[in-house]
Amino acid sequence: MEYRQLGNSGLRVSTVTLGTMGFGGTGWASPVGHIDVEGARRQIGLARDAGVNMIDTADVYSYGLSEEILGKALGSDRDHVLIATKVRFPMSDEPNDAGLSRHHIIASAEASLRRLGTDHIDLYQLHAPDAKTPIAETVGALGELVAEGKIRDFGCSNFDVTMLADAAAATPPGGPGFVSVQNQYNILFRQPEDGVLDECARTGMAFLPYFPLASGLLSGKYRAGEPAPEGTRLAALGERAADQLSDERLATVAALESVARRGGHSVLDLAFGWLLSRPVVASVIAGATRPEQIAANVAAGQWRPGDDVLAEVDAIAPR
């Protein structure tokens, strides 16, 4: 396993992070399947054995259940991994239980610590922007949590270049700022190339891509002219996945798979290797529903495509 610096923090992270959106398997953002404490414990054990040292969750995943399951599954092994979680979305009908106000951030951090059964969070991330709260208030609240030792570092998710610049301008001189940006990024979705990756390189922030397999399209499971395999995320979406499973999109995936196979690799290997060829990418976040998927993700994170392969990818799926 390769380890990279988590931006401007003092932490080094494995190039593959275990995502836990499936822990609990109920409520908001829940994918196909259900992973209980025992299932989570098995996943974490396999990931750790392979060298994975960061686990990513969020308070809103299964409305707190993902964090609870993660905390119980880790138990006394908590200090052997880095925990990343997030704050932004409502966890109740209480009017102030949402957003990025100081009130909500402080209360949410305390709640996450209780659910996780820990005294600190390694990476606390803003799950999405909040246009109603001044970013200076948000950064100030995160700084308080760092000073109190409740979080080690903080980052953001789904922020664009302007939002990142506003946050940097609101950070007190010498005070802690964002160490990472977690945005959607994969071969078929290249929006971060419109400035965010350059901003990470300029400021030293790490980039943490989520949905590296484009909701499974880059896993090799889907074929043109064939129904989505039963039990997969896109099969569960039904007609809502029509755009994802269009003939044009599947033809692009088939072309990418052909490029990967010429080098003795799978399209999943290509998806991970392509992301990790970017120096600002510290770790690729990927969940799993079966043990073999963890092994495949870890193996995929070890390949670095050459410049000739990267050029072919650009020709097939241009920016």
**Tokens of residue 52, six digits:** 């994975």
Q: Quick one: DSSP state of residue 62? A: G
Question: Active-site residue 61, yes or no?
Answer: yes
d(CA 218, CA 215): 8
Residues 82, 13 contacting (CB under 8 angstroms): yes
Return the CA Rg of the chain.
19
For 241-258, b where at least 16 C-beta lie within 10 A, e where not — what string?
Answer: beebbeeebbebbeebbe
| Residue of 3, 61, 124, 222 marked active site | 61
Q: Are 33 and 25 in contact (CB under 8 A)?
A: yes
Distance CA 102, CA 273 (A): 39
Helix axes 247-262, 307-316, angle to 10 degrees: 170
Longest Cα–Cα distance in the chain:
57
Could you give the CA distance from residue 303 to residue 270 in angstroms, rounded to a whole number?
A: 8
Contact of 178 with 167, CB cutoff 8 Å: yes
From the CB of residue 265, how many other CB atoms can be counted at a distance below 10 Å?
A: 19
| Cα→Cα distances 242→223, 225, 236, 284, Å | 13, 12, 12, 26
Q: Which helix (H) or strand (E) holds 251?
A: helix 247-262
**Tokens encoding 42:** 């098995």
User: Hey, which residues are catalytic here?
Assistant: 61
